[in-house]
Structure 1
Amino acid sequence: MSPRTPKKGKGGIRTDTDLEHKKKGTRKERASFLILCEGKTEKDYFVGMRSRQGPHIDVDAPKVDHLSIIREAVARRSDEYDAVWCVLDTELDEGLTSALISEAKRGSIDLCLSTPCFEVWLIMHHTDCTRSFLSANEAKRRLRSVAPGWSEGNTRFSDFLHGLDAACLRARQLDPTGEDFLRNPSTNAWQLVLAIRPKA
C-alpha cells in the first residue's frame, strides 16, 4: 500500500485521520529578531509590538554608548536570530553616524537610525514631520505637543498603533531609500517595523 492510499477497515470505511497525512516539519517557524535600543523609549515601543501572530522579538536597552551597543549586538548575534537590529539616534553628529554605519557593516548588523532622535518616528504617527530640528530636545517637545500623554518614561506602542501606517508613509516619503541617515528630520524605523510586523 502506498503512503497516499487511505487505510480502510471493515466495510471499506477509512480508519486513518488527516493528522497522519501531514508531513513532519511543515509547520512554519516564526522568524526571530534581536533589537538592541539606545534607551527606554525605543525599548518600550518595540516590546509593545510583540504579538502571537508576528515574529519572536527580543528587545534590550544596554546602558552603554552608541558604538558599544553595536558591538554588543555583534557579540549576541547567533543562529537563533534571523536578524539583529540596533535602534540608535544620530544626535545630528556626522562623525558619530559614519562610525555607527561602519561598525554595523563590519558586524553585519542592521541599523535603525533616527535624526535627530527616535521621537521623530513617534511624531510621524500623529502628523507630518518635515521641519528640521536643532536638537533632540526640540523634537521631544514637538512630540509632547502632538501626543500630550507621552513621556520618555512612559511610551506605549498601543498609543501609537493607530498611526503606524501613516508613520511608515511619512518616513518613506522623506527618505525612500532608508539610507539618508543625516537628513533632518529622518528615520528608517519603517524598515524595521515592516520586518517585524505580523504579515497579513
Structure 2
Amino acid sequence: MILCEGKTEKDYFAGMRSRRGPQIDVDEPKGDHLAVVHEAVSRVSDEYDAVWCVLDTELDETLTAEMMREAKRGPVDLGLSTPCFEFWLILHHVDCARPFQKADDAKKRLKELVPSWSESNTKFSDFADGTDVACRRARKLDPDAGDPLKNPSTSVWRLVESLQRRSEPDK
C-alpha cells in the first residue's frame, strides 16, 4: 500500500503497476501531510507486506519530525523527498546535488527536463527508463536515508528498490 500526498506521486506509482510485478495499491487520501501518515497508520494490516507514505518535507523540520513520529506508530515506511517529490523525478534524467530554495524551483527544473510534464499529468513512461539510475543517484546523495531534510535528497529509492525486489521471479 502506498499513500501519496498528491496526484503526481499517485500517478507515478499507479503507472508502475504491471501484471508481472507486485500488487500495489496506491491512494491519495485527503488532508495534509500528517493526515496522510495517520491514514497510513490506520491501514496497516496483514493484507499488505508494507505500508508506505510518499511525502514532501517542504523543508520543514517540525513537520518532518511529526511525520516520522506518527509513522513509527504504524509501523509505516516513509519515502520523503526534500524539497519535493519532483526532485525524485529529476534524478531519472540528470544527476543533481544543487540545493533548491523551494519546491517550485525543483518543479521548474523538472519541466525543463521533461517539457510535457505537469503536476496534473505525470506519466510513469516519462521516467521508467531512468528508474535504476535515479535509485543510484538518490542513494549516493543520502546512502542510509538518514537525513530527510538534506537538500536535495529523497528516500523514495528505498520504496522503488523494495518494489523491484518483489518483482523478481524468485520473490
Q: Same fold (TM over 0.5)?
A: yes
Q: 2:9 aligns with which of 18, 27, 42?
A: 42
Q: 1:99 aligns with which of 61, 66, 87?
A: 66
Amino acid at match of 2:168: K
Unaligned 5+ runs, structure 2: none
Matches within 5 A, 1:49-60: 49-60=16-27
**Does 2:124 correspond to 1:157?**
yes
Cα distance in structure 2, aligned partners of 1:99 and 1:179: 16
**C-alpha displacement at 1:55, in angstroms?**
0.8
- Aligned counterpart, 2:86: 119
Q: Secondary structure at the match of 2:73?
A: helix
Cα distance in structure 2, aligned partners of 1:67 and 1:184: 21
Amino acid at match of 2:13: F
Amino acid at match of 1:95: T
Q: Which has the higher contact order (CA 8 A, sep 6+)?
A: 2
Matches within 5 A, 1:12-161: 34-161=1-128
Percent identity between the aligned chains?
65
Count of residues in Structure 1 that have an aligned counterpart in Structure 2: 167
Unaligned 5+ runs, structure 1: 1-33
**C-alpha displacement at 1:199, in angstroms?**
1.8
Q: Which deviates further from its counterpart, 40-49 or 189-198?
A: 189-198
Cα distance in structure 2, aligned partners of 1:116 and 1:153: 19
| Rg comparison, structure with higher value | 1
Cα distance in structure 1, aligned partners of 2:8 and 2:33: 15
**C-alpha displacement at 1:179, in angstroms?**
2.1
Query: Could you state the TM-score of these two structures normalised by the residue count of structure 2?
Result: 0.95
Q: Secondary structure at the match of 2:146?
A: coil
Q: Secondary structure at the match of 1:143?
A: helix
Cα distance in structure 2, aligned partners of 1:77 and 1:104: 11
Could you say which structure has the higher helix fraction?
2
**C-alpha displacement at 1:96, in angstroms?**
0.5
Amino acid at match of 1:161: A
Check whether the contact 2:41–2:73 (CA below 8 A) recurs between aligned residues.
no
- Aligned counterpart, 2:168: 199
- Aligned counterpart, 1:23: none
Amino acid at match of 1:139: A
Cα distance in structure 1, aligned partners of 2:116 and 2:151: 25
Q: Deviations over 1:63-120 (max 9, x none)?
A: 2111111111111221110100000000000110111111111221000000000000
Please list every run of at least 4 consecutive aligned residues from structure 1 whose deviation after the TM superposition is greater than 3 angstroms. none
**C-alpha displacement at 1:60, in angstroms?**
0.4
Query: Could you state the TM-score of these two structures normalised by the residue count of structure 1?
Result: 0.82
**C-alpha displacement at 1:172, in angstroms?**
0.5
Q: Secondary structure at the match of 1:111?
A: strand
